[in-house]
Structure 1
Amino acid sequence: MKVRSDILRIYQSLHTWTGICAGILLFIGFFGGALTMFKHPLERWVSAPSALASALAPQQVDSVVREVLAAHPAAREEFTLHVVRHENNPAPVTWSAGHAGRDIDLNAMRWQASLDEQGKLVAQEVRPSLFGELVDMLHRTGGIPGTLADEYLGVYLMGVAGVLYFLALVSGVVLLLPTLVKDLFALRKGKNRKRFWLDAHNVIGIASLPFHIVISLTVIVFAFHDQFYDSLQHVVYGEQKMWARPSGTAGPGDVTKLAPASELVRLAQQEAPGFEVTEMLFMDLESPRPLVRVGVANEDYVVRGAVSAYLLMDPYNGQVLNSSMLPTKSDTWSSLVAPFFALHFGSYGGDWMRWIYFAFGLSGAFLFYSGNLLWVEKRRKNQLRDQAPPAQPRRTAVLAAATVGVCLGSVAGVAAALLAAKWLHAASGNLNAVLMTTYYIVFLACVAWAFWRGAARAAPELLALCALAGCAIPATSLLARLAPSLGMWAHGSLGAVAVDLTALVLALPLAWGARLAARRARSGPLDSVWAAPAAAAPEPAFPQERQA
């Protein structure tokens, strides 16, 4: 297909600058998004063993709920019954003193309750690990701190990046149209490293184009959902409430008359055959509108939640109040909205689809990383024959260092926070604050290191650091098994072991990349930003621009 050269130049400029402006922020978003595909296994890996993890019969669970509501009035406002329990949710019943907001409360405490061996209620207040929430925050905000109104500032910036991201996708497709058939899966190796990186960038971009279009559009919707809903409320609903809780029991409820939890599970299972009841969130039990939100899972359906579909019931008589969020009984609105959530979260198809989204997330991060490298290479000043290497423009050196420092710093920061969850567990009063602090210390240190050393020297060093941190994750689990006196732990569940294996597998290409980057720094073209020959005299990381 032929496209006029002047049109191609316009789209090339659009593709370049939209990609550069949003690329580094989107790298963190995509890397964090890939990890959120396995958010629950990560939380299980970092969660310490609990004495409340013993299995209970359904009648015993009913007893726990009844005794918790009698002894702890705060639970009547909201508590969760974990029907399916894992290392991060070891107790059948959990609750907190207040409702959680959108921002992460690092000091938040949560109660958990179960029965001891004598059948007596045991309740304890703990600070649950928020590692999964921290990773999700990086995914949604790019790690940018601060809030605007009641939302993270980074969420809005990520929404703007999503707009630029969509423009970069469209312009990139237009650029490839003239050679799309001939160069679709070309991956040419040789002395021209720029050609290889461009081919890799194009192949990954085209192969995952539908995924990226879906993600870019849903990022915009999620970032500005409050504004969309406010407009919809004003234009369509007017004075009528857009979200109205369905009516259940008339008047304030008496918690002693609450339906047994086992009966509610049975009724929910009856309403959603083929689905597994995973948890039940009880809300406002003493208000005029008590409610229980039942989470049900079935990997064969597109669901609205990150993992589950939902069913709303009356907690006193088991009446179904709303089943529109069940994929088998959804209304028109839910049928239109659910795919936006499911396509973004990957909440369909089971674990194999999560692995596909995980791979797409990492390949998307590579797309932005390689795009910045191409920008740097295209703008380098080439060395003329028999002349000294030219001083590269400051902007190329700055972008190269920022790309290396920010991208690899986010990888190293997440790995360091994961390690801190076990190594500093016994020594920390507030582990969640330690995890957050560890991430930002390592992240900022990597950025500073890249700007101080320059991209050529910092790239192999930071890649090696990321590879070492990846290997340290399974090594920590192994050490915990061999030396339990250290106060660490290693869960034997499939999800926890998969975290160790995945970290080890990802460490291998990082180590390989460190080796290649070091070789290029030693023996690459002297006129490249990525070259730092050992024999050459040290030069400033960011040379001054030459005067015209």
Structure 2
Amino acid sequence: MKVRSDILRIYQSLHTWTGICAGILLFIGFFGGALTMFKHPLERWVSAPSAVAGALAPQQVDTVVRDVLAAHPAAREEFTLHVLRHENNPAPVTWSAGHAGRDIDLDAMRWQGMLDAQGRLVAQEVRPSLFGELVDMLHRTGGIPGTLGDEYLGVYLMGVAGVLYFLALVSGVILLLPTLVKDFFALRKGKNRKRFWLDAHNVIGIASLPFHIVISLTVIVFAFHDQFYGSLQQVVYGEKKMWMRPAGTPGPGDVAKLAPASELLRRAQLEAPGFEVTDMLFMDLESPRPLVRVGIANEDYVVRGAVSGYLLMDPYNGEVLNTSMLPTKSDTWSSIVAPFFSLHFGSYGGDWIRWAYFAFGLSGAFLFYSGNLLWVEKRRKNQLRDQAPPEQPRRTALLAAATVGICLGSVAGVAGALLAAKWLHASAGNLNAALMTSYYLVFLACVAWAFWRGAARAAPELLALCALAGFAIPATSLLARLLPSLGMWAHGSMGALGVDLAALALALLLAWAARLAARRARSGPVDSVWAAPAAAVALPGPAQPLERRA
């Protein structure tokens, strides 16, 4: 297919500048998004050991709910009955005072209620790990602090980046149209490293194009959902409320008259055959509109939540109030909306899809990283024959340092926070605050290091740091098993072991990348931004001849 050269130049400029403006922020978003595919295993890895209550008989379920509501009035506002339990959520009932907001409360405490061997209620207040929420916040905000109104500032900036991201996708496809068939699977190695990076960038971009289109559009919707809903309210609904809790029979306000929790669970299972009930969230039990939201999961269906769909019931009489978020009984509007949520969250198809989204997320991060590298390489000053290497433009050196420092800093920061969850568990007064502090300390240190050392020196060093942090994750689990006196732990579940194995695999990949970056800094073209004096690059591996090619 032929496209006029003047049109190609316009789209090349559009692709370049939209990618550069949004690329670094989107790298963090995609890396964090890849990790959220295994948010629950990560939370299980960092959670301190606690006896996981076994399956409860229906009578025991009713007893623990009744005793919690009688002894702890705060639970009447909101509490969760956990049908499925793991290391990070060992108790059958949890609650806190008041409703949670959008922002993360690092000081938040939560109560856990369970039955002892004699069938009596045992309640304790704990500070649950928020590591999964911190990773999710990194994914949604790019790690940018601050709020604007009721939302994180970073969410809006990520929405703007999503718009630029979509424009970059469209312009990139148009640029590739003339040579798409010929160059699609081309990965040309050789002296022209820029050609190899461009081929890799194009192959990954085109191969994952449907995924990127879905993510770019849903990012925009999620970032500006309040504005979209506000417009719909004014234009479509007028004075009528857009969202209203289903109108059931007003609750009597006496929690002693609640329907037995085991009966509500049985009715939910009858309403959603083939689905597994994961949890039941009881809300506003003493208000005129009490509600229980039942989480249901089936990997064969697309659902509204990150893991499950929902069924709304009356907690007093067990009446089903709303099935619009139940995949098999949803209305037209929900059937249209649910795929957008599910396609963004990867909440369908089970572990195979989660691993695919994990791979797509990491490849997307590579897409933005390699895009910035290509911009730097294209704008470097080439060395003329028999002349000294030219001084590179300041803007290319700064962008190269920012790309290396911010991108690799986010990777090292997440690994540092994950390690801090175990190494600082015994000494930190507030572990969640320590995790947040650990991330930003490592991240800012990496950024400062990249600007101080320059991109060529910092790239192999920061890649090696990321690799070491990755190796330290399974090493920490091994130490916890061999030396229990250290006060750490290592869960033996498949979810926790999967974190160790994935960290090991990524660490090996990063170590290989560090070696390649160090070799390029030592023996690559001297007129490149990525060239560095050999004495300044001491890792990894044995010293190599100080040969350069112009």
Report SS of the residue matched to 1:180.
Answer: helix
Equivalent residue number for residue 407 of structure 2: 407
Report SS of the residue matched to 1:468.
Answer: helix
Equivalent residue number for residue 301 of structure 2: 301
Aligned AA (2:370): S
CA contact (8 A) 2:11 2:174 kept: yes
CA contact (8 A) 1:48 1:489 kept: yes
Equivalent residue number for residue 473 of structure 2: 473
CA distance in 1, matches of 2:58, 2:128: 25
Equivalent residue number for residue 437 of structure 2: 437
Correspondences of 1:190-269 after superposition (within 5 Å) = 190-269=190-269
Q: Does 1:162 align with 2:162?
A: yes
Structure 1 residue 260 displacement after superposition: 1.3
Equivalent residue number for residue 370 of structure 2: 370
Equivalent residue number for residue 173 of structure 2: 173
Correspondences of 1:86-235 after superposition (within 5 Å) = 86-235=86-235
CA distance in 1, matches of 2:156, 2:199: 32
CA contact (8 A) 2:31 2:362 kept: yes
Cα deviation, 1:317-347, whole Å, max 9, x if unaligned, reads 1110001111100101101110110010001
Report SS of the residue matched to 1:32.
Answer: helix
Equivalent residue number for residue 325 of structure 2: 325
Structure 1 residue 279 displacement after superposition: 0.1
Report SS of the residue matched to 2:156.
Answer: helix
Equivalent residue number for residue 312 of structure 1: 312
Equivalent residue number for residue 540 of structure 1: none
Report SS of the residue matched to 2:113.
Answer: strand
Answer with 11-20 or 243-252: which moved more: 243-252
Cα deviation, 1:432-478, whole Å, max 9, x if unaligned, reads 00000000000000000000000000000000000000010011011
Cα deviation, 1:10-53, whole Å, max 9, x if unaligned, reads 00000000000000000000000000000000001101112463
CA distance in 2, matches of 1:426, 1:100: 27
CA distance in 2, matches of 1:51, 1:370: 46
Correspondences of 1:510-525 after superposition (within 5 Å) = 510-525=510-525
Equivalent residue number for residue 379 of structure 2: 379
Cα deviation, 1:119-142, whole Å, max 9, x if unaligned, reads 111000011000000000000000
Aligned AA (1:423): W
CA distance in 2, matches of 1:92, 1:536: 57
RMSD: 1.0
Q: Which runs of 5+ in 1 are unaligned?
A: 538-548
CA distance in 1, matches of 2:530, 2:324: 56
Q: Does 1:340 align with 2:335?
A: no
CA contact (8 A) 2:11 2:172 kept: yes
Structure 1 residue 65 displacement after superposition: 0.4
Report SS of the residue matched to 2:281.
Answer: strand
CA contact (8 A) 2:52 2:86 kept: no
CA distance in 2, matches of 1:251, 1:195: 68
User: TM-score, normalized by length of structure 2?
Assistant: 0.97
CA contact (8 A) 2:45 2:496 kept: yes
Aligned AA (1:71): A
Equivalent residue number for residue 270 of structure 2: 270
Report SS of the residue matched to 1:280.
Answer: strand
Aligned AA (2:79): F
CA distance in 1, matches of 2:113, 2:536: 65
Equivalent residue number for residue 446 of structure 2: 446
Equivalent residue number for residue 544 of structure 1: none
Report SS of the residue matched to 1:186.
Answer: coil
Equivalent residue number for residue 48 of structure 2: 48
Report SS of the residue matched to 1:247.
Answer: coil
Cα deviation, 1:197-245, whole Å, max 9, x if unaligned, reads 0000000000000000000000000000000000001111111111110
Cα deviation, 1:256-276, whole Å, max 9, x if unaligned, reads 111111111110000000000
Cα deviation, 1:287-320, whole Å, max 9, x if unaligned, reads 1111000000000001000000000001111110
CA contact (8 A) 2:52 2:85 kept: no
Cα deviation, 1:49-72, whole Å, max 9, x if unaligned, reads 124634432321211100000000
CA distance in 2, matches of 1:396, 1:350: 43
Equivalent residue number for residue 289 of structure 1: 289
CA distance in 1, matches of 2:480, 2:536: 46
CA distance in 2, matches of 1:195, 1:250: 68
Structure 1 residue 118 displacement after superposition: 1.7
Report SS of the residue matched to 1:182.
Answer: helix
Aligned AA (2:177): L
Aligned AA (2:445): A
Report SS of the residue matched to 2:296.
Answer: strand
Structure 1 residue 514 displacement after superposition: 0.3
Equivalent residue number for residue 350 of structure 1: 350
Equivalent residue number for residue 531 of structure 1: 531
CA contact (8 A) 2:42 2:499 kept: yes
Report SS of the residue matched to 2:459.
Answer: helix
Report SS of the residue matched to 1:53.
Answer: coil
Aligned AA (1:419): L
CA contact (8 A) 1:144 1:154 kept: yes
CA distance in 1, matches of 2:61, 2:262: 8
Equivalent residue number for residue 85 of structure 1: 85
CA contact (8 A) 2:77 2:284 kept: yes
Report SS of the residue matched to 2:182.
Answer: coil
Cα deviation, 1:388-407, whole Å, max 9, x if unaligned, reads 00000000000000000000
CA contact (8 A) 1:392 1:529 kept: yes
CA contact (8 A) 2:82 2:279 kept: yes
Answer with 395-404 or 528-537: which moved more: 528-537
Structure 1 residue 252 displacement after superposition: 3.5
CA contact (8 A) 1:523 1:533 kept: no
CA distance in 1, matches of 2:53, 2:413: 31
Aligned AA (2:349): G
Q: Percent identity?
A: 90
CA separation of 1:106/1:466 partners in 2, compared to 1, >3 Å: closer, same or farther?
A: same
CA separation of 1:236/1:536 partners in 2, compared to 1, >3 Å: closer, same or farther?
A: closer
Q: Which runs of 5+ in 2 are unaligned?
A: 538-550
Aligned AA (1:399): L
